[in-house]
Structure 1
Amino acid sequence: MSWHLGRMCGFDLETTGVDTEADRIVTACVVQVGGHQPVQTANWLADPGIAIPAGAARVHGITTERARAEGRPAAEVVTDVVAALAQVALSGVPIVIMNASYDLTLLDREARRHNVQPLTEAVGDDLRVIDPRILDKQISRRKGSRTLTDLCQHYGVRLDGAHSADADAIAACRVAWRLGSTRPELAALPLEQLHQQQIGWAREQGDSLAAYFARTPGKESQAAGVRTEWPLVPAPQGEDA
């Protein structure tokens, strides 16, 4: 049976910003769908321990005041999220993550910050990730933005409430299912091979983006900042869990 017809687990974070080394988790969702089984959803609201910038709050709707009043301690949330994802990965279910290198890298840094065993260390080679953004860029050479909203529109997928972790996690699974349903070359790949292919595709896509920046006047300085590692950027040397 092809991977898109089985159980999938969507994962998404809403955060204090876009810096994976410094920003923090505000909300998280782990949702299991498909495989002719009931939907299982777990959501978390964290007190990130730092102020939530107004720009981030406008995106996901969580203010510093609400996070402090209603959120659980960040260390508890990170522990629970890592445990939930580890259980999924060790059971052989793929984790669907839009722009996986962002969410998994930020989760990794949060785990290390709070002395929680990082996900990749907990599951080792059992981690299988499906990244709709990487897959879409590989099969479609169209121009333009490739946000989750863009992919949902392009593939005719419903997105209920963009920029909430639960809505985005479910929508990413829907896009992954659509990709598997409409692209037989993707559906035919075993999960392990699909995961490995995405590592190479992400590197090629990153190299292409860096080359574009390097030859575009005014954007040359951005080339050096492009990271090509997938599904997460390794922690800086000397940063221990």
Structure 2
Amino acid sequence: MYTCFDLETTGLSTYHGAIVEVAAIRTFADGSTREFCTLVSPHCEVESGAFRVHGISTTEARTRGGQPREVFEDLQEFIGDSTVIAHNGIKFDVPYLRTEMTRHGLNIGNNRVIDTVRLARHYLCAPGESAKLAALCARCGIINERAHRALADTRATLELFKLILKTEPDLDTLWKLSGSVSMMDLGGRHEFHKAISDAIIHGLDIEINYKSQGKPPRRRWLKPRGFLPDGNGDYKFAAHCYDSQAEKNYVIGRILEILGTRKSS
């Protein structure tokens, strides 16, 4: 069947941030469900703005949270090969999860992704109405007493999705309306994404031929740090440039070729 999931994070940046809580609810053909929820120990501090939203402190996450790699492995096992449902999952949750998994040496699955933001605009929103989770819950009579905590938001997303299923029960149709994308797509659809991801996982430098805007192509050695999602997924990455001895961001689409790799010094 399908699995709804939600994340809470230290902040919006996947490069500088980390996941502090993850929850998932898996549904089965007999109508039963299973829940998964845990805090995650972050490598960085929870930003003040994020704390005001979800109330999870750095101390709480590090004291009570599991180690990221173990949590993400358990989450993958829990999800299995089911279709993944997330509210704003295409723009935020799935790219964030993939970047975090890459940081900890893991590859994300190729599960189909259905985004309830996109479906809500089609099935539940009048023109001009908000598709934010809180607004949808208020209009649809869904009680979410612990909004912005992962399990509560996952339960709310599940209830919204059930409403959508009453209108359109076919998952294939809903997946197509949501954009026909997979979790693997949302870490980067570009051909060079895997090479960059592998370099991050294995601690490698990469040599690229890169075309900066308004400048001729130039070769350079980089140490990739992490991916930076734009509105549609990961199309940029942060890296240390050995030529300039500076931290920079690079647009994956401007890479002309990847020339080689080496073990980072």
- Do both proteins adopt the same fold according to a TM-score greater than 0.5, normalized to the shorter chain? yes
Q: Which residue of 2 aligns with 1:168?
A: 153
1:14 to 8, 22, 29: 8
Q: What amino acid is the match of 1:94?
A: T
Pairwise CA distance, 1:75: 2.1
* 1-structure distance, mates of 2:74, 2:152: 20
Map of 1:222 onto structure 2: none
| Contact 1:49-1:74 at 8 Å conserved across structures | no
Q: Tell me the residue number matched to 1:76.
A: 70
More relative contact order in 1 or in 2 (CA 8 Å, sep 6+)?
A: 1
Report the CA distance between 1:234 and its aligned residue.
5.9
State the shift of 1:54 in Å. Answer: 1.9
Q: Which residue of 2 aligns with 1:25?
A: 19
* Cα distance change, pair 20–128 in 1 and its aligned pair in 2 (3 A): same
Report the RMSD for the aligned CA atoms in angstroms.
Answer: 2.6
Q: Quote the offset at 1:48 in angstroms.
A: 0.8
Q: TM-score, normalised by structure 1?
A: 0.70
Unaligned runs of 5+ in 2: 182-228, 238-251, 253-257, 259-265
Instruction: Give 2:171's aligned residue.
Output: 191
Please tell me whether the aligned partners of residues 112 and 180 of structure 2 are also in contact (alpha carbons under 8 angstroms): no
CA contact 1:14–1:26 (8 Å) conserved in 2: yes
SS at match of 2:40: strand
Secondary structure, counterpart of 1:47 in structure 2: coil
Q: Which of 74, 89, 97 is the matching residue for 1:100?
A: 89
1:132 and 2:119 correspond: no
CA distance in 1, matches of 2:122, 2:139: 15
Identity %: 26
Alpha carbons 1:43, 1:166 under 8 Å: kept: yes
> TM-score under structure 2 normalisation?
0.64
> Once the 2 structures are TM-superposed, how far is the Cα of residue 8 of structure 1 from its aligned partner?
3.6
Given that residues 94 and 129 in structure 1 are in contact (C-alpha distance below 8 angstroms), is that contact kept between their aligned partners in structure 2?
yes
Whether the 8 Å CA contact 1:98–1:148 is kept in 2: the answer is: yes
- Aligned residue pairs total 191
Q: 1:200 Cα deviation (Å)?
A: 7.0
In 2, the alpha carbon distance for the partners of 1:161 and 1:22 equals 26
Moved more, 61-70 or 106-115: 61-70
Amino acid at match of 1:64: T
**Do the aligned residues in 2 keep the contact of 1:16 with 1:53 (CA within 8 Å)?**
yes
Q: Displacement, 1:172?
A: 0.3
